[in-house]
């Protein structure tokens, strides 16, 4: 059913589309900031892990060597978690770009105006008697 929008309804639809676009841009910008932050944090943790492993290899004390090795394992697990989050962010950004735009804004339909156009008042017929018990009465039988 074709439905033309009034200027006010068109303005509301345009405003809603602008709001969705602004929200989309903020979300995308946030994902990019998160991706860059994860890259920097992952690089810092890799550098820390390499430094800790080098210090553990040069240590003579077995207790200190075990501590530094465990610290390197924690750094490795942090880098792996960081990598998983980075893959998730990249997937969100790429998948959103590949997804087609499903539809435009939903048009505003004035249900009361449409109901008023469909409503028909039954015209009384002259050929039926007012006291006829078989005569349909009421709005339900207005066919």
Residue 38 lies in a domain: yes
What residue numbers bound the domain in which 80 lies?
Answer: 9-100
Determine what percent of the chain is predicted with pLDDT higher than 70: 81
pLDDT tens-digit series, residues 52-87: 888 888 988 999 989 988 988 998 898 899 889 888
Indicate whether 3 pLDDT > 80.
Answer: no
Count up the domains in the chain and report the number.
Answer: 1
Residue 51 lies in a domain: yes
Residue 70 lies in a domain: yes
Residue 45 lies in a domain: yes
Task: Give rounded-to-5 percent helix, strand, coil for the chain.
Answer: 70, 0, 30
Neighbouring residues of 91: CB distance < 8 A, sequence distance ≥ 6: none
Indicate whether 2 pLDDT > 70.
Answer: no
Residue 55 lies in a domain: yes
Neighbouring residues of 82: CB distance < 8 A, sequence distance ≥ 6: 38, 41, 42, 45
Which run of H or of E encompasses 49?
helix 7-58
Whole-number Cα distances in Å, 60 to 11, 56, 66, 85, 131: 75, 8, 11, 37, 115
Entry pTM? 0.48
Residue 48 lies in a domain: yes
């Amino acid at each position: 059913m074709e439905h033309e929008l009034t200027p006010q309804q068109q303005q509301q639809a345009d405003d809603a589309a602008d709001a969705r676009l602004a929200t989309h841009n903020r979300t995308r910008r946030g994902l990019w900031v998160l991706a860059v932050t994860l890259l920097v944090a992952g690089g810092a943790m890799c550098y820390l892990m390499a430094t800790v492993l080098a210090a553990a290899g040069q240590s003579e004390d077995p207790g200190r060597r075990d501590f530094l090795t465990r610290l390197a394992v924690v750094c490795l697990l942090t880098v792996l978690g960081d990598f998983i989050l980075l893959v998730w962010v990249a997937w969100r950004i790429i998948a959103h770009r590949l997804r087609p735009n499903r539809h435009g804004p939903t048009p505003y339909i004035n249900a009361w105006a449409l109901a008023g156009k469909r409503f028909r008042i039954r015209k009384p017929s002259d050929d039926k008697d007012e006291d006829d018990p078989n005569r349909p009465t009421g709005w339900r039988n207005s066919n």
